[in-house]
């Protein structure tokens, strides 16, 4: 089954994601490509473990979903997200039996290594989300990335590194076959946590189901009589903090870009399209500015597009509100 980010809970549970098989082992595969690994690997268990697959490519997501469905693997959840967002916000602590990474993108150019997944911050995050006895399983053809990942695992201070043979299923993926055809071999390492560090989930919540929930970021304000929405121009705001122990890409800061403002034909008001970037998580959200009938306006995050509520999304509502204040609006209530 394919899940969007907004379909998950933060954090989620195996009982909710796999209601028929909640007690089976739980395996996460990062960058599953066209999905060949899981049918081979699942077949090595008496009962298929619960599967969570995360990929950046939408085409791969659809191919893999078809493959798993054809193999009858129904206790499988696939999603299109950056892996760190899924692991940090969705996977509960101490929940996974394994995190499998087959042939990750090597980012071979100098200066690109902080695009690599298997760096010390990811190993600490992984250690916090694995069960005791769980492991990260890496298979790669890339000598330099393999050494880099092993060094980063040591550097994390929470992983033991064992060099072993790859599980046969990892040698049946599209990339495994591609490299085998070129006569190249594959390295395999098993990274076992030696400690369970605390890596907290972010301040992320679902968009509430109730129509008028006060938990949706909002503000109430009165626009000046001469307010002219045509004064709108693209506008960028930045804030939040960067995590001390991680690179900029893993930071908890946000960037909000207000891209455009659209007039509603059906309602008294406008919607603002905002682009919100927080580390690897990017969301396009709509912030409505709607007349309330008493002369005031409600600025509120719209449900449209399935946003999740993060510090950056709250900041988007704050940025729209701030832009209106700069034009003379008087804010009577802030709920963001």
Ligand X SMILES: C[S@@+](CC[C@H](N)C(=O)[O-])C[C@H]1O[C@@H](n2cnc3c(N)ncnc32)[C@H](O)[C@@H]1O
Residue of 7, 9, 11, 56 that binds ligand X (CB under 6 A): 56
Give residue number: closest CB to ligand X: 31
Q: How far is the CB of 317 from ligand X (least distance, A)?
A: 28
Indicate the residue among 115 and 131 with the shorter CB distance to ligand X.
Answer: 115
Q: Answer yes or no: are the C-beta atoms of 158 and 195 closer than 8 Å.
A: yes
Choices 96-104, 159-167, 204-212, 289-297; region in contact with ligand X by CB under 6 A: 96-104
Active site residue 105: yes
- 175 interacts with ligand X by CB under 6 A: yes
Indicate the residue among 12 and 29 with the shorter CB distance to ligand X.
Answer: 29
Residue of 75, 102, 156, 283 that binds ligand X (CB under 6 A): 102
141 in a labelled binding site: yes
Q: 20, 34, 97, 105: which one is catalytic?
A: 105
Chain residues 237-256 in contact with ligand X, contact rule CB under 6 A: none
Indicate the residue among 175 and 254 with the shorter CB distance to ligand X.
Answer: 175
Q: How far is the CB of 92 from ligand X (least distance, A)?
A: 19
Full 3-state SS string of the chain = CEECHHHCCCCCCHHHHCCCCCCCCEEEEECCCCCCHHHHHHCCCCCCCEEEEEECCHHHHHHHHHHHHHCCCCCEEEEECCHHHHHHHCCCCCCEEEEEEECCCCCCCCCCHHHCCCCHHHHHHHHHHEEEEEEEEEEECCHHHHHHHHHHHHHHCCEEEEECCCCHHHHCCHHHHHHHHCCCCCEEEEEEECCCCCCCCCCCECCCCCCCCCCCCEEEEECCCCCCHHHCCCEEEEECCCCCCCCHHHCCCEEEEEEEEEECCCCCEEEEEEEEEECCEEEEEEEEEEECCCCCEEEEECCCCCCCECHHHHHHHHHHHHHHHHCCCEEEEEEC
Choices 10-18, 170-178, 212-220, 248-256; region in contact with ligand X by CB under 6 A: 170-178
Expressed in angstroms, the distance from the first to the final Cα of the chain is 33
Question: CA–CA separation, 180 vs 28, rounded Å?
Answer: 25
**Secondary structure of the chain: what % helix, strand, coil (to 5)?**
30, 30, 40
Q: Answer yes or no: are the C-beta atoms of 118 and 149 closer than 8 Å.
A: yes
- 146 interacts with ligand X by CB under 6 A: no
Residues 16-55 as x/- pattern, contact with ligand X by CB under 6 A: --------------xxxx--------------------xx
Question: CA–CA separation, 110 vs 133, rounded Å?
Answer: 35
Indicate the residue among 32 and 191 with the shorter CB distance to ligand X.
Answer: 32
325 in a labelled binding site: no
211 in a labelled binding site: no
Choices 56-64, 119-127, 129-137, 237-245; region in contact with ligand X by CB under 6 A: 56-64
Q: How far is the CB of 104 from ligand X (least distance, A)?
A: 6
154 in a labelled binding site: no
- 103 interacts with ligand X by CB under 6 A: yes
Chain residues 104-133 in contact with ligand X, contact rule CB under 6 A: 104-105, 117
Q: How many residues bind ligand X (CB under 6 A)?
A: 20
280 in a labelled binding site: no
Catalytic residue list? 105
Binding residues: 29, 55, 105, 109, 141
**Annotated binding-site residue numbers for substrate:** 109, 141
- By the criterion CB under 6 A, which residues form the site for ligand X? 30-33, 54-57, 60, 82-83, 102-105, 117, 173-176
Residue stretches of the annotated binding site for S-adenosyl-L-methionine: 29, 55, 105
């Amino acid at each position: 089954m394919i899940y969007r980010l907004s379909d998950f809970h933060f954090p989620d549970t195996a009982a909710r994601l796999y209601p028929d098989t909640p007690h089976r082992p739980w395996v996460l595969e990062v960058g599953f490509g066209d999905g060949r690994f899981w049918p081979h690997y699942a077949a090595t268990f008496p009962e298929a473990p619960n599967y969570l697959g995360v990929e950046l490519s939408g085409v791969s997501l659809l191919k893999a979903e078809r493959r798993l469905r054809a193999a009858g693997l129904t206790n499988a959840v696939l999603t299109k997200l950056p892996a760190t967002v899924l692991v940090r916000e969705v996977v509960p602590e101490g929940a996974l039996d394994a995190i499998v990474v087959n042939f990750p993108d090597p980012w071979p150019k100098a200066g690109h290594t902080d695009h690599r997944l298997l760096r010390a911050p990811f190993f600490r995050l992984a250690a916090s989300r694995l069960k005791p006895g769980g492991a990260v399983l890496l298979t790669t053809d890339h000598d330099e990335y393999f050494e880099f990942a092993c060094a980063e695992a040591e550097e994390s201070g929470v992983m033991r590194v064992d060099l072993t043979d790859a599980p046969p299923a990892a040698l049946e993926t599209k990339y495994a076959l591609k490299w085998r055809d070129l006569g190249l071999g594959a390295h395999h390492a098993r990274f076992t946590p030696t400690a369970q560090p605390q890596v907290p989930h972010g301040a992320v919540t679902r968009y509430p189901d109730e129509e008028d929930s006060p938990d949706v970021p909002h503000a109430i304000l009165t626009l000046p009589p001469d307010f002219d929405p045509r004064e709108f121009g693209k506008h960028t705001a930045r804030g939040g903090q960067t995590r001390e122990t991680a690179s900029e890409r893993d930071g908890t800061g946000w960037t909000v870009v207000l891209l455009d403002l659209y007039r509603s034909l059906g309602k008294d008001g406008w919607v603002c399209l905002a682009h919100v970037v927080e580390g690897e998580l990017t969301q396009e959200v709509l912030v409505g500015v709607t007349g309330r009938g008493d002369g005031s306006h409600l600025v509120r995050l719209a449900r449209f597009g399935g946003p999740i509520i993060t510090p950056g999304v709250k900041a988007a509502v704050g940025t729209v509100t701030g832009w209106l204040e700069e034009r003379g609006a008087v804010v009577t209530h802030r709920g963001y």
